[in-house]
């Protein structure tokens, strides 16, 4: 691969995504706030850069996978941000789950500088990131999307162009809305199974293959059964996503009671110190729902 990819953000998902790109043969420059998180990548040959600005000075394609919209804002528009030095023709791909409004802002700023911007949030959690099987939903110019197919196909399998800038982020909100209510149903099913004295592994075997089946059930309930609450996706990030979805829904005069309930339940867990656990820790809500 001739192009150098700059990768910013090496968290639970970002690190695995970056590793997949390196294994495919891409040259990788990396930056993350905690350098220790980059150690494995650096040992495999990635080059460390000290700021997003240094990433932008060297890379033709820049992928950002950070935590919150404020982090995205800083990475792109800060004093040492991408837009301070990025060259004409650079492609920037924000794969953070962020706001459609910010995605459009990045696109418009890029357009002024002849930089091509895509918003491309993902779904599939740590497992999808590790296996390179993420669902990727993309907004921006179609030609830029087509130009990035080899990169996207390294990271995921279900890759769909959704439309103009911001459409990828709107689609991710649809994804998070569906997951939010589904998580309540999945957890209630296994709380019920426990109260009824059933074997949870057998219940999972029966109902995950039928109409009740879902990604959350198949991938997260096995962790719940083992009392493994380590994050494939942090509660604090899911709360952030639900907040974005509710704000966008309000702009559309749309009431989403299922989403509101899920956010209330997760907020209560965060207050109790569960914000750095995985979303499957929702099962703990029934231990003490007050």
Catalytic residues: 172
Distance CA 55, CA 66 (A): 15
User: Apex CA 88: angle with CA 84 and CA 92, to 5°?
Assistant: 70
- Please classify residue 11 by burial: count the beta carbons closer than 10 Å to its beta carbon, then call 0-12 exposed, 13-18 middle and 19+ buried: buried
DSSP for 50-96? SSHHHHHHH-SEEEE--SSHHHHHHHHHSTTSGGGTPPTT-EEEE-S
- Judged by DSSP in three states, 1 sits in coil
Distance CA 269, CA 162 (A): 33
Q: Are 98 and 170 in contact (CB under 8 A)?
A: no
User: Which long-range CB contacts under 8 A does 189-192 form with residues at least 24 apart?
Assistant: 189/217, 190/221, 190/224, 190/283, 191/283, 191/286
Angle of helix 167-195 relative to helix 100-112, nearest 10 degrees, comes to 150
């Amino acid at each position: 691969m001739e192009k150098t990819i700059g990768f910013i953000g090496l968290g639970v998902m970002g690190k695995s995504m970056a590793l997949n790109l390196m294994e495919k043969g891409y040259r990788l420059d990396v930056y993350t706030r905690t350098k220790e998180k980059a150690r494995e990548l650096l040992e495999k040959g990635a080059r460390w850069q000290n700021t997003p600005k240094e990433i932008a000075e060297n890379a033709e394609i820049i992928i950002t996978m950070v935590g919150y919209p404020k982090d995205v804002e800083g990475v792109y528009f800060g004093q040492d941000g991408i837009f301070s030095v990025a060259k004409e023709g650079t492609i920037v791909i924000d794969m953070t789950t962020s706001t459609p409004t910010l995605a459009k802002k990045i696109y418009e700023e890029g357009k002024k500088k002849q930089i091509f911007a895509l918003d491309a949030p993902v779904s599939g959690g740590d497992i999808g990131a590790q296996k390179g099987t993420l669902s990727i939903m993309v907004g921006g110019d179609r030609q830029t999307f087509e130009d990035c197919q080899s990169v996207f196909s390294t990271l995921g399998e279900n890759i769909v162009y959704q439309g103009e800038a911001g459409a990828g982020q709107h689609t991710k909100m649809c994804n998070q809305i569906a997951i939010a209510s589904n998580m309540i149903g999945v957890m209630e099913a296994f709380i019920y199974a426990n109260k009824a004295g059933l074997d949870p592994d057998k219940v999972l075997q029966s109902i995950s293959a039928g109409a009740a089946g879902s990604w959350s059930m198949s991938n997260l309930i096995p962790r719940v059964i083992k009392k493994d609450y380590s994050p494939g996706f942090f509660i604090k990030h899911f709360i952030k996503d639900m907040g974005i979805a509710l704000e966008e829904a309000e702009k559309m005069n749309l009431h989403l009671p299922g989403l509101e309930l899920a956010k209330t339940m997760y907020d209560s867990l965060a207050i109790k110190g569960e914000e750095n656990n995985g979303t499957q820790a929702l099962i703990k809500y029934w231990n003490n729902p007050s």
